[in-house]
Amino acid sequence: MKKTVTLTLLAMAIFPGVAAAATPDLTLVTSQATADGGTSYSVSLQVLLFMTLLSLLPAALMAMTSFTRIIVVLAILRQALGLMQTPSNQIIIGLAFFITLFVMSPIFSSAYENGVAPYMEETLDFDSALAETTGPFHQFMSNQVREQDLALFAEMGGYQEFGSIAEVPFRVLVPAYITSELKTAFQIGFLIFIPFLVIDLVVASILMSMGMMMLSPMLISLPFKIMLFVMVDGWTLVVGTLASSFAVF
Average pLDDT rounded to a whole number, residues 58-67: 82
Average pLDDT rounded to a whole number, residues 202-216: 77
Domain that holds residue 197: 57-244
Q: Is residue 42 part of a domain?
A: no
Q: Is residue 166 part of a domain?
A: yes
**How many CA atoms within 13 Å lie on the side-chain side of 114?**
15
Rounded to whole angstroms, the Cα distance separating 113 from 133 reads: 9
Q: Which residue has the higher pLDDT, 7 or 152?
A: 152
The per-residue pLDDT for range 99-155, each reduced to its tens digit, is 988 888 888 888 888 877 777 777 877 777 777 888 888 888 888 888 888 888 888
In the predicted structure, residue 74 carries a pLDDT above the cut 80: yes
Read off the pTM.
Answer: 0.74
The per-residue pLDDT for range 155-175, each reduced to its tens digit, is 887 777 777 777 788 888 888
Q: Is residue 5 part of a domain?
A: no
pLDDT for res 249: 54
pLDDT for res 142: 84
Categorize the per-residue pLDDT at 79 as very low, low, confident or very high, splitting at 50, 70 and 90. Answer: confident
Count structural domains, the chain: 1
pLDDT for res 186: 92
Q: Is residue 19 part of a domain?
A: no
Which of 41-45, 47-51, 61-65, 187-191 tops mean pLDDT? 187-191
In the predicted structure, residue 18 carries a pLDDT above the cut 50: no
Categorize the per-residue pLDDT at 19 as very low, low, confident or very high, splitting at 50, 70 and 90. Answer: very low
pLDDT for res 8: 52
Picking from 35, 19, 73, the residue whose alpha carbon sits closest to that of residue 244 is: 73
Reduced to 3 states (helix: H, G, I; strand: E, B; else coil), residue 43 is strand
**Poorest-confidence range of 61-70, 107-116, 160-169, 194-203?**
160-169
Q: Is residue 175 part of a domain?
A: yes
Let me know: does 238 contact 73? Beta carbons within 8 Å.
yes
CB neighbour burial string for 144-160, b if at least 16 within 10 angstroms, e if fewer: bbeeebbeebbeeeebe
Q: Is residue 78 part of a domain?
A: yes
Q: Is residue 6 part of a domain?
A: no
Q: Is residue 162 part of a domain?
A: yes
Mean pLDDT, the chain, integer: 77
The per-residue pLDDT for range 27-43, each reduced to its tens digit, is 444 555 555 555 444 44
Return the percentage of the chain with pLDDT > 70, whole number.
76
The per-residue pLDDT for range 87-99, each reduced to its tens digit, is 888 888 998 989 9
Picking from 124, 12, 104, 248, the residue whose alpha carbon sits closest to that of residue 116 is: 124
